[in-house]
A and B are shown apart, each in its own frame.
Chain A
Amino acid sequence: MSLRCLGTVAAAFGLLIAVWHGPVSAFPVDGNQTALPVNTELNEDALERPREVFRSEISGGKSYLVNLGNLAFSSPSILGDVARQANVSCGTCHVNGAGNARFFMPKMSTRPGNFDTTGPLFNPKADNGLLDPVRIPSLRGARYLAPYGADGRMASLRDFVRNVIVNEFAGPEPSPVILDAIVAYLQDIDFLPNPSLCPTGRLVGKISEAERRGEALFSKPFPHDPGMSCAGCHVPSGAFVDHKQHDVGSVGLFKTPTLRNADFNAPYFHDGRFDTFDQVVTHFDTVFGLGLTAQDRRDLVAYLTAVGDGTQPYEHEGAGASLKEVNDFATVLGTAIAAGDRDVVGLAVETIGGELRELTEQYPDRKNTSVSGGDRERVNARAALKEVVLLLRRIEGAVDEGRTENAAADYRNYRYLMAAAVPSLLAGAEPWSLFNPAVHDQHYAALRRILESRHVAR
């Protein structure tokens, strides 16, 4: 690389750092003829995404089944027509296995972060005629959190996953292996580590006085019923759940939610009615007559915040993170090609290709005049991504025609390109991509201006 090039990259990178000042405002669906209701907010343009931690990565690497499950979870193809048309997958709501507090869909949500799973949009047959959305939960630590569903109506995670696919989203009956894979994936997602929590759920290390007092209050019996306490349901030694349903004054029986990583799981309660721990504590104080002082409430909030913490909850969205995910997905191809498994190859090609096409759009083309500079780099990045999309399609064609050796050869080429050439080209174009907050803002500001023209006329 020439000095001049280095200088340009350094200047662009400096600009990136200089303008970075937190998450950029999200961008709702707008315009005529969209597949989803206008003003739907999917938060897909977020520059920070929840970090995903896998149990198996700590112990040597993810299995075929976990990667297949992650792939299926990210694929609109396993859901029904409306979701497929709208490019909505399980991962749209559960971003990297966490929640999506910005998600909002008119007529299906009453506030950001909740969604009516028995609404009319995705499966009219499942519509109960009520707007009764439930909070979109984080799935971190799902293996500890049975029963499933906000009301805990299903003991089996497998049954619950099938119900979401078939009944809530009108998808085709999933094959047993796909169901097993999604369950394996969900059971592999760990809580974010919290160094302040010991295995028994006690706070350890450098703990503030407020947190310590809050911990004591958390276990203190309720005045009207000494058999009850916060910790009675949110059992510290058991991921802060008791696997039971309770009526806590929110009209109905709902399962105890975990407090692990809860700092990042707002909104709270089954319907997401509360934004903060303070509101939650005030609710319990009122409903159960706890007689808390203002200091008590602050102490409980401090305790909940300490328990709900997690290491590095978000990571910057960039080509590296996208490619890592896509490469994990692509590992299933090695097994599926050898087995001549057309269904899995088709699912992988469809899903990975879709992800790569979306990634391509992070590098604006020449007609996008809201972005300037890096023309050559952007062209190279886009062309490289398109080449691998087509390589995947050739793999599918070869498997369909029984040309397994050709498919395997193309798969080797794909792996080779994705190991070095593609990451290098994407890295070269990153300063002029939508991963750069300044470029991101310019692009979305331009799009926002043109879309706002619709609303002026209304």
Chain B
Amino acid sequence: MKKSVVLCLVSLAIANSVGPVSATALDDAAERYRPYMIEGIGSALAGIKELRERVAAKDLAGAKRAWLSARAGWERSEVFTAGFVPELDTLIDAWPNADSGFHAIEAKLFGTGEIDVVRDTDALIGHLDQLESRLPTMALTPQGLLDGTVRLAYEVGESKADGGESRISGTSLDDMRNNVDGIDFAYRTIFAEALQVTDARLAKQVTERIDELKTIVAAHDLPHVDVRALRRASEELVVSLQAASLRLGLQRPTLEAQSR
């Protein structure tokens, strides 16, 4: 009896020493992401509420500034939006059929110069409100957040030769910078520490590749982003994160939301 218990403990110790990070540790780390998520969506919502006020005051310049502010918070949050709240993600950020959400408002404010965006703004406030109310209790899984980080890292490398998603406001490069900030925060907050323990070399590689992405999107405007370097850095980061998933005891990340 005593011998078998010892054997069991030894087996457990071996399993722990060579195995991946414990699920609890990563769950705790994922929980540390929650305040960032709440802050990002809170910032987007505050921006849109400010936009609503600027619209009421017929202040087009102020409305544009508020849209940009809201957009930054949203883009930082894209690590989790596609995977955790896909329906709201579509309503809030539909593209290119901009009959709702950010891009519907963008087309009017920055395109036609219309200030009459009350209906679209109210709808967007409603959707962001709904999202914000779900954040405190939303189940955050490390797997889901790694999936989202990987998907966003791949997306950042897509061609923006046509001006990108926010081409009417000309802020696609800001979108990319905020995306990379979101990737950086998610990785450092949730996965970096654990990966450092299981594979320091890989952890260093991931950090370097995120830093490389940050350097590339620091270009002064979109046409001067080195698209070849961007794509390479994006794909190399995804490859590293795919390798990291094994070391973290997670499944291989999905490259499309809803594909798991």
Contacts and interface: CB of A to CB of B under 8 A. Distances in A.
Contacts of B242: 390
A35 interface: yes
A243 B159 CA distance: 42
Contact of A32 (B95, B170, B225): B170
A11 interface: no
Interface in B10-67: none
A369 B99 contact: yes
Given A367-B89, A386-B154, A457-B113, A34 B167 contact: yes
B180 interface: no
A386 B231 CA distance: 12
Contacts of B111: 450, 452-454, 456-457
A453 B162 contact: no
Contact of B255 (A33, A85, A382, A443): A382
14 contacts: A32-B167, A33-B164, A35-B223, A84-B227, A350-B231, A353-B231, A361-B158, A367-B89, A383-B259, A386-B256, A390-B238, A394-B239, A451-B168, A454-B110
Interface string A384-398: 001101100110010
Given A31-B170, A450-B168, A454-B110, 8 more contacts: A31-B167, A87-B159, A366-B258, A382-B256, A386-B154, A389-B235, A397-B239, A452-B111
A389 B254 CA distance: 14
Interface string A417-458: 000000000000000000000000001001101111110110
Interface in B154-168: 154, 157-159, 161-164, 167-168
* Top 5 closest pairs, chain A to chain B, by CB: A453-B111, A31-B167, A32-B170, A31-B163, A370-B97
Contacts of B162: 29, 31, 34
B96 A368 contact: yes
A345 B89 CA distance: 38
Contacts of A34: 161-163, 167, 223
A456 to B, nearest CB: 4
A12 B108 CA distance: 34
Contacts of B95: 367-368
Interface in B77-99: 82, 86, 89-90, 93-99
B214 interface: no
B239 to A, nearest CB: 6
B216 interface: no
A383 B254 contact: yes
A86 interface: yes
A380 interface: yes
A253 interface: no
A358 interface: yes
A455 to B, nearest CB: 8
A32 B99 CA distance: 20
B228 interface: yes
Interface of B: 82, 86, 89-90, 93-99, 103, 107-108, 110-113, 154, 157-159, 161-164, 167-170, 172-173, 221-228, 231-232, 235-236, 238-239, 242, 254-259
Contacts of B255: 382-383, 386-387, 390
A36 B223 CA distance: 9
Nearest to A44: B162
Contacts of A366: 82, 86, 89-90, 257-258
A382 B223 CA distance: 26
A446 B98 CA distance: 7
B96 A370 contact: yes
Contacts of B167: 30-34, 451
A33 B221 contact: yes
B248 to A, nearest CB: 18
Interface residues of A, number: 48
A353 B235 contact: yes
B159 A450 contact: no
A440 B95 CA distance: 14
A446 B97 CA distance: 5
A393 B239 contact: yes
Contacts of B99: 369
B108 A453 contact: yes
A390 B154 CA distance: 9
Contacts of A29: 162-163
B222 A33 contact: yes
A31 B162 CA distance: 8
Contacts of A449: 98, 107
A457 to B, nearest CB: 5
A292 interface: no
Nearest to A81: B226
B259 A380 contact: yes
A35 B230 CA distance: 15
A441 to B, nearest CB: 13
A424 B89 CA distance: 29
A367 B93 contact: yes
B161 A35 contact: yes
Contacts of B170: 31-33
A36 B259 CA distance: 35
Contacts of A397: 236, 239
Interface in A19-45: 29-36
A358 B159 contact: yes
A382 to B, nearest CB: 5
Contacts of A84: 227-228
A74 to B, nearest CB: 15
Nearest to A86: B161
A389 B231 CA distance: 11
A26 to B, nearest CB: 14
Given A447-B96, A457-B112, A85 B90 contact: no
Contacts of B227: 84-85, 87
B168 A367 contact: no
A149 interface: no
A46 interface: no
Contacts of B224: 85
Given A77-B228, A450-B103, A367 B159 contact: no
A200 to B, nearest CB: 47
Contacts of A350: 228, 231-232
A62 interface: no
B161 A85 contact: yes
Between A31, A87, A361, A443, the greatest number of chain B beta carbons within 10 A of the residue's beta carbon is seen for A31
A77 B231 CA distance: 13
Contact of A453 (B82, B86, B89, B107): B107
